Amino acid sequence: MTRRAMIAVAVLLAGPAAAQSVSEKTGVNALIGVSPSTADFVTQAGVSDLFEIQTSQLAAERSDAPTKAYAQKMIADHEKTTGELKAMVQGGKVQATLPTALDSTHQGKLDTLKGLQGDAFTKQYHSDQVKAHKDAVDLFQRYAKGGDNPDLKAWAAKTEPALAHHLKMAQDLDR
């Protein structure tokens, strides 16, 4: 049995309360469909927004016209969701800390993108957007379904359809 499968089985046997405490970074929560903790959700949603904004700023400078238009929408939409999340945290509705920088995984992806030009850049940006939005849709769906903060849960449910639309737009860029 693979290590990942053994971890998933152990988490399943430990029950939902323990599963929710497993860090979102391990990937186990997504693998078994468990809602992230509020702290993990805020961290992952915040990092996702930062990544979308920073990579899209590059794409707005370096890509073809359709990709530039998509990138501008990503910047505007993800700045909006960042502001909404920040307002909930600063207003006391959500007890969590917003990330101020990318995690190492996302920073590595950004650094790779910074080193590319032309078609290689555009192809990688498109791929990163599809992956990032698949992850975001999954994260938001799981929190909306089983999150423990009612305000954040409602926001996740309200925001997820826009993320799903972003995913479809990203997938359509290569067509």
pLDDT at 69: 97
**The pLDDT value given to residue 3:** 52
CA distances from 5 to 12, 14, 128 (A): 10, 14, 26
Distance between CA atoms of residues 141 and 33, nearest Å: 9
Q: Shortest CA distance to 139 belongs to which of 30, 50, 38, 53?
A: 30
Report d(CA 63, CA 119) in Å as an integer: 8
Q: What is the pLDDT of residues 79-115, one digit of tens each?
A: 999 999 999 999 999 999 999 999 999 999 999 999 9
* Alpha-carbon distance values, 69 to 24, 57, 172, 173 (Å): 32, 11, 13, 11
| pLDDT the model gives residue 90 | 96
pLDDT in tens, 14-67: 444 333 444 555 566 666 678 899 999 999 999 999 999 999 999 999 999 999
Identify the CATH homologous superfamily for domain 36-172: Ferritin, core subunit, four-helix bundle (1.20.1260.10)
User: What is the model's pTM?
Assistant: 0.82
Q: Which two tokens stand for residue 42?
A: 């805020």
Q: What is the pLDDT of residue 20?
A: 40
Distance CA 73, CA 77 (A): 6
Cβ neighbours of residue 47 under 8 Å, at least 6 residues apart? Answer: 99, 102, 103, 106
CA 15 centroid distance within chain: 25
Range list of H helices, 91-149 = 104-114, 118-146
Please report, for the chain, the start and end positions of each structural domain, with discontinuous segments joined by +.
1-34, 36-172
Is the pLDDT assigned to residue 125 strictly greater than 90?
yes
